[in-house]
Structure 1
Amino acid sequence: MITVTPEEISQFRNQLADNSQALVALDTIEECEGYLDDAVPLLFMRETAQQADRSLNDLLEKCRQFICQEEVRDFLESGLIAPIVEPLAASAAIPLGTATALSICVFKLGAKKFCNVPESGA
């Protein structure tokens, strides 16, 4: 299980202060006690009024091509999710709140690890 700490949620709240949909996503993550595995399907269901037909891993896979672009990876490795949430939502055709939670998930996993980038660079 991938978990976000209350301190991390607070930091993301500061970054995303002017994005109401992202703040709702953070509220949902808090409601799920930081467990992204629980929060992502719940967010997806609330945002689309549909049962989540994909697991967390399926949604991450759908976003992989966008997330693994060097500039996006660099933002995520630095803990900056605000600049990529909206482009990710548009690129993967997913709701903004879901994109917020997935961005946080990749941050927690490590973007380079998620994208299989060797530590030596590239």
Structure 2
Amino acid sequence: MSRRSRRDAADAPKPQLRWEAALFAFATNMLLVTVLTGFVQTMPLPIEFEVLATVGGPLLAGALTAFYARHRGGMHAFLGGMLSVLPLTFFIFQGNWQPALYAGAFCTMGGALTEVVQRRFQRTRKT
């Protein structure tokens, strides 16, 4: 990609953020973390499997958000993931804010990584 086309791509207006996509990220993150935490707590599994709820669920939520939003999926996942930190802290993790913050951060990472992959596929289709 030449410097001129990179500059033109950087100067192009970005699509606006959609509140529906941020709400989707919030709801998906809450749902997956709640279900996976409940699954880990009801099964006779070691506490280390809590990583499944704190990392795996939010990564999937972020990726689904990026597919739903189509543009700026990482930003939508960030907004939804960070909005879900407070309810996760009090209702799911019984006042522990650290795993809730990790869940929000990994939701952002899932959305951002999926957005990067989507951009690469879009770029290869155009050429």
* Structure (1 or 2) with the larger CA radius of gyration: 2
When the two structures are superposed, what TM-score results if normalisation uses the length of structure 1?
Answer: 0.32
TM-score, structure 2 normalization: 0.31
Structure (1/2) with the larger helix percentage: 2
